[in-house]
Amino acid sequence: MMAACRRVVAFALLVSAGLVHRVAEAGERNHKYAEGDEVTLWVNKVGPYHNPHETYEYYDLPFCKPVEGVETRRRSNSLGEQLEGHELMNSGYLLSFTKDVAKTKVCSMKLSAEDAKTFASAVDNRYWYQLYLDDLPIWGMVGEADETGAQSIYTHRKLSLGYNGPNVIEVNMTSENLVRIEEGANLDFTYEVTWIPSTTAFANRFDRYLDVDFFGHQIHWLSIFNSTMMVVFLCGLVSLILFRTLRNDFARYAKEDLGGHATGSEHGISEESGWKQVHGDVFRAPLHLMFFSALYGIGCQFLALVLVVVGWAIAGPLHGDVYEERGELVTSVIVAYALTCLVAGYTSGSYYRQFFPTPRSEQSSQWQKTMLLTVFLFPVLVLTVVFGLNIIAEYYDTTHALHLSTIFKIFAIWLFVSLPLTVVGTLFGRHWAGKADFPCRINSMARPIPLGPWYTHPALIAAVTGILPFGSIFIEMYFIFTSFWNYKFYYVYHFLLLVYLILMVVSICTTIVAVYFLLNVENYHWQWLSFMASGSTAGYVFLYSIYYFAVKTQMTGLLQTAFYFGYTFVFCAGLFLLCGALGVIGGSLFVRRIYSGLKID
Ligand SMILES: *[C@@H]1O[C@H](CO)[C@@H](O)[C@H](O)[C@H]1NC(C)=O
């Protein structure tokens, strides 16, 4: 199964290679160099340390440009790189594989008043910059301020490069030679390079970027252990309660049936209470069926999407792709999204179809509308957020402002992959899976829903239900947020997979309890309840993100705040749909199961 998936994804990557193209320089393509080959050092982005999404092009700071004759080329970026705001340009440093370079001048400049002001404020805002050498990232600070507040800038970069055979293995950079920033100061930017043989294997060269202490922290293990225990406990509890209660219910119904027949009165039936009462209504289509089918379809798509992306990452060493590389994760998410549109179409199409026993009973134009909703809903949401963020990014002129070519590529992927796959999925879903095979007949008249006590209000049930699934994932959320907002490479995908499975089980179990509770107060709108109950997990994650923003980060400014909440909102919306779909799956299994055990006279 996994192998097949991998092949499909690999194929899709090949197909979309024209769209998600990457032009690699010689040597960088296969990471192999012969002695004396040019090794390119790229300058990437600069920005304040605390605002990971406020990044500008390297030369937005008034650094002098490299010496004449060395062009400042711009490398064409992959989709993922562009979305992550990478902007690589040639540094003009002349590096040859295994050839040491003594201290050499790159360029000099005389600071004008304006340049001095720009550099000084960059140092005050703790600007860092990023370089890339053979896809290995290097970070450095622009300068430093001393105790008196006087700012200085580093002008010498000492590169120490490790190599093993034909490969570059590691890069160490030290910044030296602080020069006071003041008007009229003369800055000579210099570098030196030493090559040192290394014994580290090429495949392990990214290992030093992985923060084993952080991700392998006891808390991480403990939380996973805790969540697993919770799952065991919860499953036990749910099965115990439900099986006991259901057995009692069935016994009671059987007795009432007997009693009712024995006395020959209709009273037996009217005195019944509980979930059996709504048997004529539980399989009624949920309100706003089109919208609901679309949400459910997209949620199922995300369930598959996470599996594909995480599975692809775990299989990383097998196919030689590592997410530590620039933009890999984002690219794979986009490709996986486009492919899993098939799932969205299939599930939304079949879900919608099952409420119409014969094709003629379905108003002819409605299923196409459902399909369109499935195709458009999430992209439009993302587009709105991205559009807003892009305006801000353009205003600040950061590297996160999207190029027209990126927008065009994404639109092309959506148009030529997502859209057709959703249509195909819908058609298959309607014809193969959309059967109206409910165990109970639906009454022609809808039953009125009794007004229960306050604690039976569906909104309250939904809100309370989300707490447990959130409890099972919030530690992992901390690790994910930190890797996203705090410069850490997330690499513990096996943990993530485990937590994902735990989330599935916990969501399904808690939703089943919520649905049982709701049906018992004779409210039959269980489909929306199961969606909302499980989906409310995402609401708690959003609340947690506000806490994280306020307490764990030091982000400032409109741009970073907008990016933080914009991205988090999209993430939570996706999580909402994913969890919601889980809830509906659990709820449907449960409802079908209990009502098919019921004997309706
Ligand atoms: C880079 O720095 C690390 C830690 O200081 C050291 O162990 C390693 O040998 C250095 N590598 C090179 C190529 O200088």
**Using CA positions, which residue lies closest to atom 1 of ligand 1?**
172
On whether both 506 and 601 belong to a single domain, the answer is: yes
CA–centroid distance, 25 to ligand 1, in Å, is 26
Q: Which two tokens stand for residue 106?
A: 């790159």
Q: Could you say which of 209, 243, 265 is where a domain stops?
A: 209
Identify whether 161 is part of a domain: yes
Question: pTM for the whole thing?
Answer: 0.89
On whether both 205 and 340 belong to a single domain, the answer is: no
On whether both 64 and 107 belong to a single domain, the answer is: yes
Least reliable range by pLDDT among 36-40, 232-236, 297-301? 232-236
pLDDT at 601: 53
How would residue 572 be classed by pLDDT, with cut points 50, 70 and 90? very high
Q: Which ligand 1 atom is nearest residue 162's CA?
A: 13
The per-residue pLDDT for range 190-207, each reduced to its tens digit, is 999 999 999 999 888 888
How would residue 421 be classed by pLDDT, with cut points 50, 70 and 90? very high
Least reliable range by pLDDT among 57-71, 122-136, 322-336, 503-517? 57-71
Q: Is the pLDDT of residue 403 over 90?
A: no
Identify whether 241 is part of a domain: no
Identify whether 492 is part of a domain: yes
On whether both 382 and 471 belong to a single domain, the answer is: no
pLDDT at 222: 87
Identify whether 130 is part of a domain: yes
* Structural domain total, the chain: 3
CA–centroid distance, 202 to ligand 1, in Å, is 15
The per-residue pLDDT for range 549-565, each reduced to its tens digit, is 999 999 999 999 999 99
Q: Is the CB of 160 under 6 A from ligand 1?
A: yes
On whether both 302 and 415 belong to a single domain, the answer is: yes
Specify the DSSP class assigned to residue 16.
G
Q: Rounded to an integer, what distance in angstroms lies between the CA atom of residue 422 and that of residue 341?
A: 5
Q: Could you say which of 147, 176, 209 is where a domain stops?
A: 209
Is the CB of residue 330 less than 8 Å from the CB of residue 80?
yes
Q: Is the CB of 194 under 6 A from ligand 1?
A: no
**Using CA positions, which residue lies closest to atom 7 of ligand 1?**
172
On whether both 347 and 426 belong to a single domain, the answer is: yes
Q: Rounded to an integer, what distance in angstroms lies between the CA atom of residue 78 and that of residue 87?
A: 11
Q: Is the pLDDT of residue 515 over 90?
A: yes
How large is the average pLDDT for residues 468-494?
A: 89
What angle do the packed helices 526-552 and 289-314 form, to 10 degrees? 50
CA–centroid distance, 137 to ligand 1, in Å, is 15
Identify whether 394 is part of a domain: yes
Q: Which ligand 1 atom is nearest residue 171's CA?
A: 13
Identify whether 85 is part of a domain: yes
pLDDT at 69: 55
pLDDT at 269: 44
Identify whether 250 is part of a domain: no
On whether both 155 and 196 belong to a single domain, the answer is: yes
pLDDT > 90 in the chain, percent: 52
pLDDT at 470: 94
> Which is more confidently placed, 47 or 356?
47
On whether both 415 and 486 belong to a single domain, the answer is: no
- Tell me which of 97, 157, 168, 170 to substitute to probe ligand 1's pocket, judged by most ligand atoms within 8 Å of the beta carbon: 170
On whether both 40 and 185 belong to a single domain, the answer is: yes
How large is the average pLDDT for residues 484-493?
A: 85
On whether both 463 and 401 belong to a single domain, the answer is: no
Q: Is the pLDDT of residue 72 over 90?
A: no
**Using CA positions, which residue lies closest to atom 6 of ligand 1?**
172
CA–centroid distance, 165 to ligand 1, in Å, is 17
Burial 202-230 (b: 16+ CB within 10 A, else e): beebbeeebbeebbeeeebeebbeebbeb
Q: Checking phi first, is residue 165 left (phi over 0); if not, alpha (psi -120 to 50) or beta?
A: left
Name the residue among 192, 158, 193, 160 with its Cα closest to residue 175.
Answer: 158
Is the CB of residue 472 less than 8 Å from the CB of residue 534?
no
On whether both 432 and 462 belong to a single domain, the answer is: no
Q: Rounded to an integer, what distance in angstroms lies between the CA atom of residue 132 and that of residue 347?
A: 43
Identify whether 220 is part of a domain: no
Is the CB of residue 90 less than 8 Å from the CB of residue 133?
no
How would residue 392 be classed by pLDDT, with cut points 50, 70 and 90? very high
Q: Which ligand 1 atom is nearest residue 172's CA?
A: 1
CA–centroid distance, 125 to ligand 1, in Å, is 29
Q: Which ligand 1 atom is nearest residue 160's CA?
A: 14
Q: Print the domain residue range for 485.
A: 458-601
CA–centroid distance, 172 to ligand 1, in Å, is 6
Q: Could you say which of 150, 184, 209 is where a domain stops?
A: 209
CA–centroid distance, 200 to ligand 1, in Å, is 11
How would residue 360 be classed by pLDDT, with cut points 50, 70 and 90? low
> How would you class 579 by CB atoms within 10 Å of its CB: exposed for 0-12, middle for 13-18, buried for 19 or more?
buried
> Which is more confidently placed, 245 or 50?
50
On whether both 433 and 476 belong to a single domain, the answer is: no
Q: Is the CB of 172 under 6 A from ligand 1?
A: yes
Q: Is the pLDDT of residue 56 over 80?
A: yes
How would residue 230 be classed by pLDDT, with cut points 50, 70 and 90? confident
How large is the average pLDDT for residues 312-323?
A: 72
